[in-house]
Structure 1
Amino acid sequence: MLRLLFWIALIAAAVWLWRKFKQPTSGASAPREPNAAPMVRCAHCGVHLPRDRALSLEQQWYCSQGHLEQGPVSRQR
Structure 2
Amino acid sequence: MKYLVLFAVLAVVYAIWRSQRSLPPEKTPRPPAVGPRAAPQDMVTCAHCGLHVPQSEALRKGARSYCCPAHRDQDASA
| TM-score with structure 1 setting the length | 0.48
| TM-score with structure 2 setting the length | 0.47
Larger radius of gyration: 2
In terms of fraction of residues, the more helix-rich structure is: 1
